[in-house]
Structure 1
Amino acid sequence: MSISAHTRKTNKKNSPLESILMPQVPRSNYLHLQEEKQRLQLKKFLLHRIFLVAKITANMEKKDIAEYYEQVFQSILKRHLGEAVTGLLLIYPTSILHILESSNDTLYQILSDYLNHEKDEVEFFIQGMKIIVTSHNIPTRLFMQWYISVIKAPVMYLDDVTQSQSLQEVITEFLIQTHKLALHIFKTVKVGTKGPGDNLHQIAPDLLLPEQIIKYLCNSEEFMDPETFINLYNKPIHVTLDSEVVWPAPSRF
Structure 2
Amino acid sequence: MANPVPRNTLLGALEEIRRQQSKKFLLHRLFLVAMLQENTEGREVTAFHEELFQKIAKFHLGEPVSGVLLVYPSCILHILESSSGTLYHILKELAAMESQGPVPFLYDVKILVMSHNIPTKLFTQWYATTVEVPEILGDVTQTQTTEEVITECLTLLLRLGVYLATLKVGNKGLGDCLHSVVPELLIPMETIMYLCEAEDCLRPQEFLDMYSSPLQPVMDADSVWPTPAHMSA
TM range (shorter): 0.7 to 0.9
Give the number of equivalent residue pairs: 218
Q: Secondary structure of 1:188's match?
A: coil
Q: 1:147 touches 1:194 (CA, 8 Å); kept in 2?
A: no
Q: Which of 181, 204, 215 in structure 1 is aligned with 2:182?
A: 204
Q: Which of 29, 35, 44 in structure 2 is aligned with 1:49?
A: 29
| 1:187-226 deviations in Å (ceiling 9; x for gaps) | 1134x53332111111111111110110111111011111
Q: 1:83 touches 1:103 (CA, 8 Å); kept in 2?
A: yes
1:168 aligned onto 2:161: no
Letter in 2 for 1:138: I
Q: Secondary structure of 2:104's match?
A: coil
Q: TM-score normalized by structure 2?
A: 0.83
Structure 1 moving runs of 4+ over 4 Å: 30-39
Whole-Å separation in 2 of the counterparts to 1:69 and 1:32: 24
Whole-Å separation in 1 of the counterparts to 2:192 and 2:14: 35
What is the CA-CA distance between 1:108 and the residue it aligns to? Answer: 1.2
Q: CA RMSD in A?
A: 2.5
> Structure 1 residues 32 and 150 mapped into 2: Cα distance closer, same or farther (>3 Å)?
closer
For structure 1, the residue ranges without an aligned partner over 5 or more in a row are 1-29
1:186 aligned onto 2:165: yes
| 1:53-90 deviations in Å (ceiling 9; x for gaps) | 11011332222111111111011111223421011100
Q: Equivalent residue for 1:70?
A: 50
Whole-Å separation in 1 of the counterparts to 2:21 and 2:154: 26
Whole-Å separation in 2 of the counterparts to 1:32 and 1:119: 26
Whole-Å separation in 1 of the counterparts to 2:16 and 2:48: 37
Q: Choose between structure 1 and 2: higher helix proportion.
A: 1
Q: 1:117 touches 1:124 (CA, 8 Å); kept in 2?
A: no
Q: TM-score normalized by structure 1?
A: 0.77
Residue identity (%): 44
